[in-house]
Structure 1
């Protein structure tokens, strides 16, 4: 393969005009609630959206005139340069920003804003090195303008944008399908655990017993593989079992194998914050040997009457969560408790055992689709990261990966 001709470079200020943002005085109502979108850095987080057209707050024309903000054209690259450095998005409409941004209006004859959107997403460490400030880091317009940037031919910029957008759009499509699947799953959970062809009854009618462990005074260090550990309440979460959330049992006297947690156990926390008290999950395999604490419960069902996974689903349903919130007690709002008797009294809808298992299978099928989608998103993110690095450095040209 012939050696690639290096791209030319330029100072950022040579290919874009740089505008700061500003904030109108908050005490003047005439400046707020208008029609001009006004963006703050807090609205950009994580992966974020490549294009943004609406904002949390809007200002008026008077607010624009009475601040350092500028009405920026659609296509402006908005880059955070104060406290949070390097987050960016492209204005999808005319808008303004606060002073946490430096805003780049490119010469469209030589620069594609989307190319530089992807380029700036690789510059967080570079911007941090160039930033200064004692209270919080900030990069000035002058320092930003002196930043050397690649200036490949416009046609090549657009080919690179097309390649990267293709991967990003595939990723976004899968993420959108995951959101829809989560909505469907939640709706099906509520529908399937509501009264129908069955009857309501207390949880105790379908349980053999509830078991709890002990909570000795232990160091807040997780057990290593093969060692014994006692579960913390944070090990039990509606999103799944978290076996690393445990405390090592340092003395043989702290180990009572009667309380050992086994893969497949239905576990419930009897103490936690108001939102998490009463959370339940199915235990999965762990490298450590884990024990119940006095704040973690094992629910053992009557197998001829109840499916363990169905009970787990019911405990996450809105109807049961409301009961748990009502029954939980405690003097502190930061930590609530629910007694075993209260757990036994929870009213659940009980279809026949075969229907319980059909509900579980339907829910598991959707969960598997979500899991596969999440894995695909991770693969695409890795692909995009590698492709971004290769294409924006010029090491690989679009024709090489077509």
Structure 2
């Protein structure tokens, strides 16, 4: 008998809820009377929310509509997919009615005298809930799936309904505060964009436009090859995954071979700006200033390095590049191949750079810094709330802490 089956204090999910699979997508028209209806598929069921930005429709026999029709309060879970997305789910709010669900999406309809759907959705998204799916899933290469019977056998904590309601209300209160801060961050970004546009426009009479290559050095990084992975002289380098907007993430650093001459060419100095050369179209040109030690890292050819000359402050150049990212300048010059856009070092180097006196550059940088500090503060608060909510969910659902 498995550990899950031994948990007699937790009833099986199928004893406190009705579970069903969805309707199969059939390429041929159904026989008899049918109607075209929207349906939810795996792509719509995200972790903690339902996305309705891309809803498909299918012809459905009239006799099957009620069988697969979703109700407000249904909990939807994915049957399979990437291992890290297995069993992801969310509560359906009934915003589209009628709406059905495809056969790769499970519908769980709680018997609300025993189990609240909001409580179940919290538990499904908790570490304990996700670990169940990982334990029982059938895995093939990088994909995993769970069956209807496995989902039905899932042990579910069922404290009294009043306690379930208090737990969900507490978590909802934290979630609402998260939404307030998220909205504040979005508003701050809009204000920042307007202020920055004003600052640059105020300099329009005093700045001169010169090609990027005339105000700094533009260089592509070293190309990654099988031989460079295996040769001696392995050295850490930065790539697209490390360069986020305004910051460099050092949590996942790769190495490849750089000889002494290459380290001189591709080595980074404090103040160097790295831009994503290959990215999705909306993110190509995303950039950050390197602030590490000189020579500690090199960089790959998926990045472009801009090294400011004496006429340009690195922080001012970064402000210009972020403005170009927001205004679509990088996207306009990028060349797209399949799903990846390439900025191109020559195209980037030919862009007209707004050169103003150093004193005016400092003025603009001060404005950028003021907004950056506010944004960092809000993001820090948001991160704290996220940890608080996760702690609440873990402690309350596990019973370690009482409501």
Q: TM class by shorter-chain length?
A: 0.7 to 0.9
Partner residue of 2:109 out of 105, 110, 113: 105
Matching of residue 364 in structure 1 with residue 365 in structure 2: no
Residue pair 1:260, 1:289 contacting (<8 A) in 2 also: yes
1:179 corresponds to which residue?
186
Residue pair 2:215, 2:308 contacting (<8 A) in 1 also: yes
Shift of the alpha carbon at 1:250? 5.5
Q: Equivalent residue of 1:285, what SS?
A: coil
Q: Equivalent residue of 1:108, what SS?
A: coil
Residue pair 1:20, 1:103 contacting (<8 A) in 2 also: yes
1:301 corresponds to which residue?
309
Deviates more, 1:114-123 or 1:325-334: 325-334
2:13 corresponds to which residue?
12
1:3 corresponds to which residue?
none
Matching of residue 89 in structure 1 with residue 96 in structure 2: no
Shift of the alpha carbon at 1:130? 2.8
2:3 corresponds to which residue?
none
Residue pair 1:33, 1:58 contacting (<8 A) in 2 also: no
- Normalised TM-score (structure 2): 0.74
CA gap of 1:313–1:58, structure 2 versus 1, over 3 A, is same
Matching of residue 167 in structure 1 with residue 167 in structure 2: no
Shift of the alpha carbon at 1:119? 1.1
Residue pair 2:211, 2:353 contacting (<8 A) in 1 also: no
Residue pair 2:35, 2:59 contacting (<8 A) in 1 also: no
Partners in 2 of 1:292 and 1:110 — Cα distance? 57
Partners in 2 of 1:320 and 1:91 — Cα distance? 34
Residue pair 1:231, 1:296 contacting (<8 A) in 2 also: no
Deviates more, 1:95-104 or 1:123-132: 123-132
Matching of residue 116 in structure 1 with residue 116 in structure 2: no
Matching of residue 373 in structure 1 with residue 378 in structure 2: yes
Shift of the alpha carbon at 1:384? 1.9
Partners in 2 of 1:320 and 1:132 — Cα distance? 44
Partners in 2 of 1:87 and 1:245 — Cα distance? 29
Residue pair 2:123, 2:397 contacting (<8 A) in 1 also: yes
Equivalent pairs counted in the alignment come to: 380
Match runs of 1:150-165 below 5 Å? 150-165=157-172
CA gap of 1:12–1:361, structure 2 versus 1, over 3 A, is same
Partners in 1 of 2:174 and 2:111 — Cα distance? 26
Shift of the alpha carbon at 1:316? 3.3
1:219 corresponds to which residue?
228
- Normalised TM-score (structure 1): 0.74
2:320 corresponds to which residue?
314
Q: Equivalent residue of 2:175, what SS?
A: helix
Matching of residue 144 in structure 1 with residue 151 in structure 2: yes
Structure number with greater Rg is: 1
Match runs of 1:192-231 below 5 Å? 192-194=199-201, 197-199=204-206, 201-204=208-211, 209-210=216-217, 212=219, 219-220=228-229
> Can you give the 5+ residue segments of structure 1 that lack an aligned partner in the other structure?
1-5
Partners in 2 of 1:23 and 1:231 — Cα distance? 45
CA gap of 1:375–1:27, structure 2 versus 1, over 3 A, is farther
Deviates more, 1:383-392 or 1:363-372: 363-372
CA gap of 1:308–1:78, structure 2 versus 1, over 3 A, is same
Partner residue of 1:347 out of 334, 352, 367: 352
Q: Equivalent residue of 1:78, what SS?
A: strand
Shift of the alpha carbon at 1:100? 1.7
Partners in 1 of 2:221 and 2:121 — Cα distance? 55
Partners in 1 of 2:343 and 2:220 — Cα distance? 18
